[in-house]
Structure 1
Amino acid sequence: MKLVVQVKLIPDAGQAPVLGATLRTVNERANWVSGVAFERGVPREYELRKHTYAELKVAGLGAQAAQQTIKKVRDAYTTLTANIRAGNLGKPGSKRRTRAESRPIVFRPDAAHPYDDRCLSWQYDAQTVSIWTVAGRLKNLRFACSADQLKTLREYRQGESDLLERDGVFFLIAVCEVPEAEQYTPDGFVGVDLGIVNIATTSTGYRAAGRSLNRHRTRQLDLRKKLQAKHTKSAKRRLKNRRRKERRHAANVNHIIAKQIVTEAERTSSGIALEDLGGIRQRVRLRKPQRVTLHSWAFHQLGAFIEYKARRAGVPLEYVDPAYTSQECAECHHIDKNNRATQALFVCRACGVVAHADRNASRNIAARGETAWIAGRESRVPATP
């Protein structure tokens, strides 16, 4: 299982300008390589290297840095092609797709740049790195991270690491190959119902209310409107900073919720049943004020956090079809849209059960998760002769 660890670099007064100049140089050269690739119809990496490698060396890039720059450009075009084929940039002839296909890919001056072990070495005990720059090898560059992150880096780091600059601060993002824990046989399932009023409600009674987060998003939306109305450079800069701050806040909330759910499931030796919400934005019909809330909440991110934390802890996880889980009674399984009396109240028209609507839905999800787990295990049992 691949995990990403981000550490903060702490360069001194002489090291920081060198790191900034390195990123600007490699991204400037990457833009030139991108132009060559676009003119020549985006050839394969080996063909692209023949047209650009010598020029990159003349520009001051080391041999491995030049190779990484070419690979970075070729990977960007591969990703663009995959997105076009998947329809992520719209249909043929659409404005967004035409714009993407009609010009070379452009890299920002502070965009991330990959480093392999020949250009970057880690000294974990001293918490320093030695890194290639356009001014030569930069040694004893300090970095900061938590004790858990340092342990993960020391034991599981593999492959490349990316150097990037964000608001004048430099980071290294390292890929770690962490082994998955062995799954246990679950004693029941914890169903998780995702929503907007309540971000997550479990069948065991845990509820993460979304009121404070929704208030935070509403406040951020009002601030964005005021800044957008100014049309100044400083306002645009503030907008970018606020967008990142809001994204970090939502990710932190998702991490906390996911950890709580996985910890509870692990403590009770249960599995986790999640709703398969793929395509929810296309399926759900909402009024305009509700669309902003739906499209701004990171359902996929929360599900991804729960999944990777469950895999790391060895907690079984099943995705289930969420259809009618909010209309079905968890006791008698009668389905009626009128069962959902209000957003928070569930009253079964058949057996009269009264329950919290999200708790009732999470119980249905838990039952479907257990059914899916049993069906999956039975399908692996070889037929008797």
Structure 2
Amino acid sequence: MASDYVRRTAITRLSVDDEQRELLEETITEWRRGCQIATDMAWEKCRAKRDVQSLAYDSVREETALGSQHAILATHQAAEAINSCLERRTDGKPVSKPTFTAPTVTYDARSMTLFDDDTVSLSTSDSRVRCPLVLPDDEDGYQRQFLDSDEWSVTESTLTVRDGDFFLHLGFRRHKTDAERDTAEDGTVLGVDLGVENLVVTSTASFVSGRRLTHRLCEFENVRAGLQQTGTRSAHRTLTRASGRQLRYIRDIAHRAANDIVAEARRFDCDVIAFEDLTGIRDRTNAAWGHRWTFRTIYEYVEYKAEAAGISVQQVDSANTLVRCAECGFTSAANRRSRAHFQCQECGTEANADYNAAKNVGLRYVRRGQQSSRRTGDSQLALKSGTVTPNGQFSAYPDGFEAEFTDNPERSVTSSD
């Protein structure tokens, strides 16, 4: 996802009085209503994401207490939420309409103003409120590097409520330097596969289990279905609280997974982290509704965490990464014996299916160099025991990593320990 900007988020608690609290809570409620109104209208009539604002803006303004800018932002939020649904519906696939229950509201430069005295002015459903930011005493704190810098400018931010406190997720961006704009065309690549059984698998054989997340998502889906069927005001309040907890849980899981991916890339001195194109990943992985959101959140977190470490993040075509043998290239659905087991029908290589897919993702990026006039084709894929070039040349790590037979069937490296 190419961008001319580096983006960061600084989470800051707000100090609010009782009157401000009431206004902000009402704004969050009206925001959710506005997003839902726009979604309901677009669900019935829209065939493209760009049509949502023109269709729903007037209704959002008439039926909620949102100001004009928040009404626009609500239609944008609805458009993002139903975009993938429209794609699936066009393809004749089953879809369910998005619902908005999280206690959040989006702000941009027109609806939010930061002041030099460490206060922020926020539009509400009635009037603006000006609240102090609760910042750490340390002048070199994380938020200060953005608030006190002329390089960083404020961009779209999110206000949320957690355990009775208001938190502002301040978005910042700055232009990339020339060095940052020239991504690592040639270098070491870490391949990443996202899935259900294993949430994350890297080409260096690092695994993050997805079983606990799957269990939690199934539990929440059962609770949500029961509360929606009940339909009472009390059930709606309970669903709102449960949705907030679920959102925080998924974000925590995504942060941990993203940290693991970036740490693995740094451990193996990688210049690029390669993901498969996330479009249609729900269908490819047969994932539940919450997984797709988790996958995209992990990707977004990795993007900004990797940028801070000087690592580029790229996406590659996902075609056949699940059924292609990373060793010999033979591609057949018969290779994928089960969700967890891969066995090549041509060369006999056996491996964990997600690990094989992670290597295919990385190899697809590595092999781009052979088709690009701008690149030398000198990139290499990081494996557990060494690296492999686009032509299949394997080089063991000199400092003695433990080898895994699926890295290179004809060559093994033993640990120096």
TM over 0.5: yes
Equivalent residues in 2 for 1:193-272, closer than 5 Å:
193-270=193-270, 271-272=272-273
Give the structure 1 partner of residue 161 of structure 2. 166
Task: Give the Cα–Cα distance (whole angstroms) in 2 for the partners of residues 6 and 114 of structure 1.
Answer: 15
Task: Give the Cα–Cα distance (whole angstroms) in 2 for the partners of residues 144 and 358 of structure 1.
Answer: 43
Unaligned runs of 5+ in 1: 32-41, 49-67, 92-107
Q: Is the 8 A contact 1:161 1:172 kept in 2?
A: no
Deviation, 1:206, is: 0.5
Deviation, 1:309, is: 2.5
Q: 1:204 to 1:73 in 2, by over 3 A?
A: same
Paired positions, count = 323
Instruction: Identify the match of residue 349 of structure 1 among 345, 352, 357.
Output: 345
Give the structure 2 partner of residue 8 of structure 1. 13
Q: Is the 8 A contact 2:336 2:353 kept in 1?
A: yes
Equivalent residues in 2 for 1:302-381, closer than 5 Å:
302-373=298-369, 375-376=371-372, 378-379=373-374
1:335 is matched by which residue type in structure 2? Answer: T
Is the counterpart of residue 143 in structure 1 residue 134 in structure 2?
yes
3-state DSSP class of the match of 1:148? coil
Q: Is the 8 A contact 1:202 1:359 kept in 2?
A: yes
Q: Scaled by the length of structure 2, what TM-score is found?
A: 0.62
Task: Give the Cα–Cα distance (whole angstroms) in 2 for the partners of residues 294 and 132 of structure 1.
Answer: 31
Q: Is the 8 A contact 2:276 2:318 kept in 1?
A: yes
Deviation, 1:73, is: 4.4
Q: Is the 8 A contact 1:186 1:269 kept in 2?
A: no
Task: Give the Cα–Cα distance (whole angstroms) in 2 for the partners of residues 215 and 82 of structure 1.
Answer: 27
Q: Is the 8 A contact 1:163 1:170 kept in 2?
A: no
1:129 is matched by which residue type in structure 2? Answer: T
Deviation, 1:205, is: 0.9
Unaligned runs of 5+ in 2: 1-5, 35-52, 59-65, 91-101, 377-417
Give the structure 2 partner of residue 54 of structure 1. none
Higher helix share: 1
Task: Give the Cα–Cα distance (whole angstroms) in 2 for the partners of residues 292 and 80 of structure 1.
Answer: 21
Quote the sequence identity (%).
27
Q: 1:211 to 1:149 in 2, by over 3 A?
A: farther
Q: 1:309 to 1:380 in 2, by over 3 A?
A: same
Q: 1:109 to 1:87 in 2, by over 3 A?
A: closer
3-state DSSP class of the match of 1:248? helix
Task: Give the Cα–Cα distance (whole angstroms) in 2 for the partners of residues 251 and 85 of structure 1.
Answer: 21
Task: Give the Cα–Cα distance (whole angstroms) in 2 for the partners of residues 152 and 367 of structure 1.
Answer: 37
Q: Is the 8 A contact 1:163 1:172 kept in 2?
A: yes
Which string of whole-angstrom CA distances, capped at 9 and with x for unpartnered residues, describes residues 128-168 of structure 1?
526489899857x3515694344343335424676846365
2:119 is matched by which residue type in structure 1? Answer: V
Deviation, 1:191, is: 0.9
3-state DSSP class of the match of 1:237? helix
Deviation, 1:23, is: 7.5
3-state DSSP class of the match of 2:230? coil
Give the structure 2 partner of residue 279 of structure 1. 280
Task: Give the Cα–Cα distance (whole angstroms) in 1 for the partners of residues 196 and 83 of structure 2.
Answer: 32
Task: Give the Cα–Cα distance (whole angstroms) in 1 for the partners of residues 156 and 360 of structure 2.
Answer: 43
Task: Give the Cα–Cα distance (whole angstroms) in 1 for the partners of residues 368 and 236 of structure 2.
Answer: 49
Q: Is the 8 A contact 2:8 2:172 kept in 1?
A: yes
3-state DSSP class of the match of 2:200? strand
Task: Give the Cα–Cα distance (whole angstroms) in 1 for the partners of residues 127 and 316 of structure 2.
Answer: 54
Q: Is the 8 A contact 1:200 1:209 kept in 2?
A: yes
2:134 is matched by which residue type in structure 1? Answer: F
